[in-house]
Amino acid sequence: MCSDVLLLFANSFGAQKEEEDKLFEVKRNGCIKARHMVIPYLPMLIPPRNWTGYEMFASFLGCVAVMALDTLGNTKWRINKKVLSLVDRIWANGGRLGGLVDRDDVPIPEEPDSEDQEEVKQWKWKFKEANKENSERHSQRCDVELKLEVARKMKEEEGGFYFPHNVDFRGRAYPMHPYLNHLGLISAVASLSFEGKPLGESGLRWLKIHIANLYAGGVDKFANEDRVAFTESHLEDIFDSCDRPLEGKRWWLNAEDPFQCLAACMNLSEALRSPFPEAAISHIPIHQDGSCNGLQHYAALGRDKVCHEYYFYLLILHRQTDLFYFGLNFIIRVLKIMQQDAEEDPETFPYAKLMLDQVDRKLVKQTVMTTVYGVTYSGARNQIKKRLKERGAFADDSQNFHAACYAARVTTNALEEMFGAARAIMIWFGECAKLIASQNKAVCWTTPLGLPVVQPYRQPGRHLVKTTLQVLTIKRDTEKVKARKQMTAFAPNFVHSLDASHMMMTAVACSKAGLSFAGVHDSFWTHASDVDVMNRILREKFVALYDKPVLENLLESFQKSFPSLRFPPLPERGDFDLREVIRSPYFFN
């Protein structure tokens, strides 16, 4: 009996010697190389202990000085064996499908036997890109192997397993297990499922909406009833995906999230083939994602009516054209700038005309979403370059790079014009942080849930330790803060602390309501049958979060901490009634 209990605890923490000796074979450069992959611990087989202090945490063995959210750690998970089996099959045959990395490297181009400088230049671009691609593939292959190994080990745990959570310095929650969790590789996410629960009429509807959301391609921006209609019009494809995922038409592979789409197709097929579909058991986590969540928080801080109404779908809109209204206006603005550059100064802007056929929602979406998190020009350029490369817009990487440079400049300029209220708050954040950093102090604040946050950015230093044998160099941060980093990071970190507060408030309320809940920052998950309840809760908690004078409290804390500094006044704000969020079907969807 005692040995069984000890074995259970050992499995819960996952500190098993066999894991440390596990070898994974990674194919690279045409040969097989062994790598020692250490798995420090596995998901827990029993519910984590409640956190009672920063040193008394979830696991029964070991100690980590971090904080966590008990509610997230108590969600029970299982492995979806059907999906995992298919992922294993695809991986054994070389990957490449459903977003899995190719197990083969790209060929390295041979150096040209030529003195043509342009030909040599093109070779250098291709050589650099091939080496970069192979390095990335190697890392991704290691990641896939680790996740699949843990998933294979956990699939036999019929009693389910748990992910203890901790938080980063901003309060954002993360599972402590690094290799298999709902934040990880998309195929690993698809192989995870909740405890089963009957669908019910509402759950059957949400499962259909979920398939449309996962399929994406613009379908996820339809009105909800149109998403249901989309799924119902593809029932033949859904049944075929379930019955013959690789031998059939492979409809599921065209989805934006292929493996998650396949898991949902399997669940819906089982339900519709049963005598009573509403009584069918569903294990699939249904996602409700914030509509450009960072801008939602800025709009709430500034009570910005224009942003709320047109971009975040905060009013009850039913027509697809309404849902795209703001996004289309932004794209039209970008195209107008490029058209003007192409007509008035084509020599200065040679890529303006070439980019006119490339600008669409997918090209600029990531940059729009990350602008409130302080995305830099180089970050925007890399995002757009990746999209151009994916669609094969230009013949070589040099052209992709220069086109992305131009498009990033135009996109960021258009963003500054259209998101005036958000920009005003971001500028205010930056000015406050600059003043604080001028005193060689880190920017600090307390989240609405009472978590103290201190930005950790300090100048690196080193300490020399001289011994009789050698001189050791110990790297450590100095007392001097990184002034620029303190300034540029404050706005995104503050917004992250707010979205973390919203998720935690929602998680606790869902737990009290008896719902299974999982969260990935601005994506909230529950059973299909409970989506309506979770939607109501998350909207109510968003309103409750901003019923507090968030910016006023922040300014007051700065003034108390630095009475000698004169901080700028708060930006002017609108009069939008935030309770409109509660009756919005597309605030999270």
**pLDDT tens digits, one per residue of 213-245:** 999 777 877 889 999 999 999 999 999 999 999
- Number of separate domains in the chain: 2
Which tokens is 362 given? 């997918």
Statement to judge: residues 128 and 47 lie in one domain: yes
Statement to judge: residues 83 and 106 lie in one domain: yes
- Amino acid making up residue 453: V
522 is catalytic: yes
User: Token pair 């934006």 is at which residue?
Assistant: 256
pLDDT-derived band of residue 71, with 50, 70 and 90 as boundaries? confident
Annotated catalytic residue: which of 168, 220, 289, 532? 289
Average pLDDT over residues 10-17: 38
Measured CA to CA, the distance from residue 554 to residue 495 in angstroms comes to 12
Asked whether residue 374 is domain-assigned, the answer is: no
Residue at a domain's end among 146, 162, 188? 188
Rounded to 5°, angle at Cα 322 from 321 and 324: 65
pLDDT exceeds 90 at position 313 = no
Read off the CATH number of the domain in which 208 is found: 1.10.287.280
Statement to judge: residues 64 and 145 lie in one domain: yes
Statement to judge: residues 109 and 35 lie in one domain: yes
Residue at a domain's end among 264, 284, 304? 284
Statement to judge: residues 161 and 270 lie in one domain: no
Asked whether residue 550 is domain-assigned, the answer is: no
Statement to judge: residues 171 and 272 lie in one domain: no
pLDDT exceeds 80 at position 196 = yes
Annotated catalytic residue: which of 70, 397, 499, 522? 522
Statement to judge: residues 263 and 115 lie in one domain: no
Statement to judge: residues 182 and 219 lie in one domain: no
CA nearest to 581, candidates 309, 368, 213, 369: 309
Asked whether residue 394 is domain-assigned, the answer is: no
The greatest distance separating any two alpha carbons of the chain, rounded to the nearest whole angstrom, comes to: 83
Statement to judge: residues 43 and 129 lie in one domain: yes
Asked whether residue 424 is domain-assigned, the answer is: no
Residue at a domain's end among 284, 306, 323? 284
Q: Would you put residue 51 in left (φ > 0), alpha (ψ -120 to 50) or beta?
A: beta
CA nearest to 186, candidates 98, 92, 269: 98
pLDDT-derived band of residue 29, with 50, 70 and 90 as boundaries? very low
Structural element, H or E, at residue 128: helix 117-154
Annotated catalytic residue: which of 365, 389, 434, 485? 365
Report which listed range, 32-41, 457-466, 521-530, is most confident.
521-530
SS3 291: coil
Instruction: Return the pLDDT at 24.
Output: 37
CA nearest to 100, candidates 6, 227, 232, 191: 191
Statement to judge: residues 247 and 179 lie in one domain: no
What average pLDDT does the chain have? 84
Asked whether residue 241 is domain-assigned, the answer is: yes
- Do residues 263 and 179 touch, judged by C-beta distance below 8 A? no
Asked whether residue 481 is domain-assigned, the answer is: no
What are 102's strand-pairing partners?
A: 95
- Note the Cα 218 to chain centre separation in Å: 19
Measured CA to CA, the distance from residue 44 to residue 62 in angstroms comes to 13
Instruction: Return the pLDDT at 267.
Output: 96
Statement to judge: residues 158 and 276 lie in one domain: no
Measured CA to CA, the distance from residue 151 to residue 192 in angstroms comes to 9
Backbone angles phi, psi at 520, to 5 degrees: -125, 80
Which tokens is 582 given? 């509660």
Instruction: Return the pLDDT at 23.
Output: 34
Statement to judge: residues 123 and 222 lie in one domain: no
pLDDT exceeds 50 at position 8 = no
Measured CA to CA, the distance from residue 392 to residue 21 in angstroms comes to 43
Measured CA to CA, the distance from residue 282 to residue 125 in angstroms comes to 50
pLDDT-derived band of residue 275, with 50, 70 and 90 as boundaries? very high
Look up the domain containing 267 and give its range: 198-284
Segment 149-189, tens digit of pLDDT: 889 989 989 889 999 988 899 999 999 888 888 887 677 67
Asked whether residue 535 is domain-assigned, the answer is: no
What does pTM read for this prediction?
0.81
Asked whether residue 35 is domain-assigned, the answer is: yes
- Do residues 491 and 302 touch, judged by C-beta distance below 8 A? no
